[in-house]
Each structure stands twice: as C-alpha cells, then as structure tokens.
Structure 1
Amino acid sequence: MNNLSYPFLLLALLAEIIGTIGGFGSSVFFVPIGNFYFDFYTVLGLTAVFHLSSNLSKMILFKNGLNKPLLLYIGIPSVLFVIFGSILSKYLDGYWLEILLGFFLIGLSLLFLLKKNLIIQPTHKNSILGGVFSGFSAGLLGTGGAIRGLTMAAFNLEKSVFIATSAAIDMMIDLTRTIVYYENGYINTKTLIYVPFLFAIGLIGSYIGKRLLVHIPQTKFKNLSLFFILIIGIVSIGKQFF
C-alpha cells in the first residue's frame, strides 16, 4: 500500500469522470497524467488495464443497444491496427513517444476547437479508416478514442447507443493490446498493484460521469475539455525540455 501514489489515483478518477462527460474517453487525460508518475511504457500497460474496467462499466451503464454495423466496420480494423501500434511502441524510445503524444493532443484539441462544424461523411470507407487510425493511435500512444468518436459522430447515434458501441469497440482494442503489452513487458508488478484500484475507479468514475451528464450541457463541457487537452499537450512536450 505504501508503494501506491494516491494523487495519481485521484487524478485517474478525475480523468474518468471528465472523459465520460466530454465524450473523448478517459485515456486522452489518463495517459499524459500518468506520464508524470511513471515511464511511458508502464503508463501504456496501466491504460490498457484501466480501460478494461472503464469500458465494461460503460457497457453496463449505457446498455440500450449496440450499433452492430459500426462494431464490425470500426471494431475489426481497430483491433488489427492496435496490434501493429502496440508492437511498434516497443521499438520507439519513450522520450519521443511522449513528445509525439503531446503533438497529437495539441493537434486534436485545435482541430475540434477551430473546426466546430467538422463533419465526416457516414460511409463504410470512413468507418474503416477511423478504425485504422484510432486503433493504431491507441496501440502506439495509449489513446485513440477521440478519433473513433469523431468517426462515430457522423452516424448521429442516440447518446446511450453511441457510448455503448464505443465502449464495446474499446473493449476489443484493450483486450488485444493488453496481451501485446504484456508480451512487451509493460505490465509488471508496478502495474498490477494498481489493478484493483483502477478497476474500482473505472466503475465509480463512469457512474459519476453518467449522473453528471444529465445536468451538464455536453457542448460547453466538451469545449472546456478541449482546452484541458490542449494545455496537457503543451505541458507534455514542455516537460521533456525543462
């Protein structure tokens, strides 16, 4: 118990709540936060484990059906390319992966902030491409939910169906990358001690996020989340040079 970082656990809970309300998923906050406490590879392992419980809870809390076509067109390429990204991460230095993550977060936040009416056409081709890029990003950088969310938004799904379908796809991704990360050596004793706590945080954070979602205008909160992501991206790059 003395080896646990309680501030990290508290921030993980906050990341789960904000990720649920904002619609970007917790990893976009969890990964850069984790990098302040652990090396990048350990954070990748922790993220995969954390997401398993997070997505399971979302599938239970938002269980009003799944969009099976999207589960197929986005889910399958996501799983295939998360394997590729997870394997590639082993051969890239964690220093450069953190910098790449910072630029990814900055680019992602600016894209959503400046292109508020950005629309992707709801086609099978775009669904597959969204799955490819979100899966690869999840495997390499630990986060890809925002890319998948942008792709799925084109299909104008009912909120609970959107969250349940996204969580189901994410579950497929996390089960796959957990195996690869384990083989890479990212999941070790340092990681496993946090598993029961992160599992509980995933359930509690998703529940709190769902309750708050009813009372908070998602559009306004989404913009606030994007500013957080932008700041986190800048800080992630800055800490590599100072």
Structure 2
Amino acid sequence: MKNLSYLFLLLALIAEVLGTIGGFGSSVFFVPVANFYFDFESVLGLTAIYHLSSNLSKIVLFKKGLDKKLLLNIGLPSVLFVIVGGLLTKVFNNQYLELLLGIFLVVLALVFLIKSKLVITPNKRNAIIGGGLSGFSAGLMGTGGAIRGLTMAAFNLEKNAFIATSAFIDFLIDFSRTFVYYYNGFIHNHDLIYVPFLLVIGFVGTAIGKKILKYIPQDKFKKLSLTLILLIGLMTLINVIVKN
C-alpha cells in the first residue's frame, strides 16, 4: 500500500467525474493524468482495464437512454479499428504518440468552440467514419472519446442517451483493446496494484458525475465538454514539454 500514489487516485476520481459530465468518457482526462505517473505503455494498459469498470457503471446508471441504431453504426467500426490502432502502438515512438494526442485534442476543441455552428451531418456514413476514427484513436493513443462524442453530438441526443450510448460503445472498445494491449505486453504486473482502486473509482466517479449532470442545462452541455477537452489537451502538451 505504501507504493500507492493517493494523489493519482484522487485525480483519477476527478477524471471520472469530469468524463461523466463531459459525456466523452474518463479516458480523455485519465490518460494525460496517468502520463505524469507511468510510462505510456502502462498508461494504455491501465486505461483499458480501468475504463471497463467506468463504462460498465455508466451503462448501469444510464441504460434507459441507449440508442441501439447509433450503437451499431458507431460501435462496430470502433471495435474493428481499435484493434488496428492497438497493434500499431508497437510501431510508433511513445513520445510522438503523446504529442500527437495533445495537439489533436487542442485543435479539435478549438475548431468546434470557435466555429460553434459547425456541425457534422447526422447520417449513417458519418457515424461509421466517426466510429472508425474513434476506435483507431483509442487503440493508438489511449482515448477516442472526443471523436466519438463529436460524431454523436451531431445527432442531438438527450444527455442520458448520449452518455449511455457512448459508454456502451466505449465498453466494447475497451474489451477489445485489453486483449491487444496484453498481447503487446502493456499490462504490467507492478501496475496491477492500482486496478482494484480504479475499479471502485469508476463506479463512484460515475455516480457523482450523474448527480452533478442534473444541474447542467442541455444547451451548456456541448460547450462544457469541448472546454474540458481543450484543457486536457493543453495539459497533455505541457506534460510532453516537461518530460523533455
């Protein structure tokens, strides 16, 4: 127990709460935070395991809002491409992946915050493309919730439906990439001490986030999510600069 970082566990809880409120899942916040404490390979392995619990709790708490059509159109390509992205992590340098993640999140958030009227056409084709890109990003960089969230935002889902559908897709992604990361050797025995705590945090953080979400108006929902993504993208870039 003395080897545990309690500050990291506290930050993981905050990431889970923010991930629930933002609707994009906790990995978009958890991955950059974990980068301060672990090597990038360990971050990917821990994220996949932790996120399984995180998304399972969201499915249980928000299950009445599930959109089955989007689940199929976005979920299937997500699962296929998360495997591709996960396998490619062995090819690229971890430092470049972290830098790419930070730049991607910042640019994505700024574009949609500045161009607030810019929307993705809500059709099957874009749902499939968004799902594929989301899965590929999740496998390669550890998080793809931002892409999936922006794709789903085009369909103007009610908050509960948004979170339930996103969590179910994310659960399928994490289930698939856990096996890929294990194959890659990213799940390390010395990191497993954190897993029981992270599983509990996944449920507790989701429950707290759900309560807070009740007080957030629907029209503020998308802007809040994008602002959170921008902040975490900047945090990721700062982390890369500090390491070098």
Work out whether the TM-score is over 0.5.
yes
Relative distance call for 1:223 and 1:168 in structure 2 (3 A) is closer
Distance 1:227 1:96, change over 3 A: closer
Whether 1:229 and 2:238 are equivalent positions in the alignment is no
State the one-letter code of the partner of 2:212.
L
Higher deviation after alignment, 114-123 or 126-135: 114-123
Given residue 199 of structure 1, which amino acid in structure 2 is its aligned partner? L
Partner of 2:178: 178
TM-score (normalised: structure 1): 0.94
Q: Is the 8 A contact 1:106 1:233 kept in 2?
A: no
Equivalent residue for 1:151?
151
* CA distance in 1 between partners of 2:67 and 2:233 (Å): 31
Query: Can you give the 5+ residue segments of structure 2 that lack an aligned partner in the other structure?
Result: none
**1: distance between equivalents of 2:183 and 2:15?**
27
Q: How does 1:1-242 map to 2 (within 5 A)?
A: 1-217=1-217, 218-219=220-221, 221-222=224-225, 224-241=227-244
Q: CA deviation at 1:223?
A: 5.2
Measure the CA separation in 2 of the matches of 1:105 and 1:119: 17
Amino acid corresponding to residue 48 of structure 1 in structure 2: A
- Asked if structure 1 preserves the Cα contact closer than 8 Å seen for 2:85 and 2:135, the reply is yes
Deviation at 1:222, TM superposition (A): 3.1
Is the contact between residue 130 and residue 148 of structure 1 (CA under 8 Å) also seen in structure 2?
Answer: yes
Contact map agreement 1:110 1:230 (CA 8 A) in 2:
no
Query: Deviation string for 1:53-101 (max 9, x for gaps)?
Result: 0000000110214211111111111001000000000121212111111
SS in 2 for 1:64: helix
Given that 1:28 and 1:145 are in contact with CA atoms closer than 8 Å, whether structure 2 keeps it comes out as: yes
SS of the counterpart of 2:64? coil
Q: Verify the 8 A CA contact 2:102 2:234 in the aligned structure 1.
A: no
Q: 1:155 to 1:221 in 2, by over 3 A?
A: closer
The 1-side partners of 2:184 and 2:237 are apart by 28
Deviations 1:141-183 (A, max 9, x none): 0000111111111112222122111111001000000000011
Q: Is the 8 A contact 1:99 1:236 kept in 2?
A: no
SS at match of 2:24: coil
In structure 1, stretches of 5+ residues that fail to align are none
Alignment size in residue pairs:
241
Tell me which amino acid in the other structure corresponds to 2:133: F
